[in-house]
Amino acid sequence: MKRLVPILMMSLAWPGMAAAQSGVELQPGGELAIDGTSTVRDFTCKAKVVEARFTPGEAGGALVLEQLAGALREVQLEVPTGKLDCANGTMNEHMYGALQLTQHPTIRFRMSGYEVGAAKDGQVPLRIRGELTMAGVTRPIDMVARATSAPEGKLRVQGRYLLRMTDWSVRPPTLMLGTMKVGDSVVVRFDFALARK
């Protein structure tokens, strides 16, 4: 099997994003968001800050579709829990409580590998594996994504992952004296761009 592409590379980048020195960095304009439901209304929370570290693979961090199998060896992504924003102060407060912000101020993803599928219609399917740490609990995750070429030699990676909060011992928030209950399952979606330094 071909090596797995660091999922964290999935980052079109957004304000506040940072990347360690590795020859590859996230670009501004991307998004990492969480879509959820409740008994009152659906909601979306967005990460305002993401920090990423990339370790090039055999292809030396080449960001071309034909060499993705060896582009990256390792990726680590960190999101400060307090930088998740649901555009609602009360919702943010309950979310931070559920995620145990004080005890666990960072959400982390470490890619352990990825597989590259056959290119079709200018897209390359990816299967990304790794570990997600949230609220002090670490569990393996396996997700699908797709990569496409972007202008100026950039690589765009998009995908989504269905996550059950209780699998990480996170109790879904309850607001307004219990009249608003957040659903256990949320969708984590990302739309990132990577570029060589």
Q: What's 89-124 look like in SS3? A: HHHHHHHHHHCCCCCCCEEEEEEEEEEECCCECCEE
Cα separation, 148 vs 119, whole angstroms:
9
pLDDT in tens, 123-132: 999 999 999 9
57 or 83, which is more confident = 83
Average model confidence (pLDDT) for the chain?
87
Q: How many CB atoms lie within 10 A of CB 129?
A: 16
Q: Would you state the CATH architecture of domain 7-196? A: Beta Barrel (2.40)
Whether 8 shows a pLDDT value over 50: the answer reads no
Which pLDDT score, from 0 to 100, does residue 29 have? 85
CA 110 to chain centre: 10
Percent of the chain with pLDDT over 90: 65
Which pLDDT score, from 0 to 100, does residue 176 have? 66
Tokens of 179: 């009249």
Residues whose CB falls within 8 Å of the CB of residue 93, separated by 6 or more in sequence, listed in order: none
Whether 142 shows a pLDDT value over 60: the answer reads yes
Which pLDDT score, from 0 to 100, does residue 23 have? 83
pLDDT in tens, 70-120: 899 999 999 999 999 999 998 899 999 999 999 999 999 999 999 999 999
Which pLDDT score, from 0 to 100, does residue 178 have? 65
**What are residue 38's DSSP bridge partners?**
182
Which pLDDT score, from 0 to 100, does residue 18 have? 41
Per-residue pLDDT, averaged over 152-181, amounts to 89
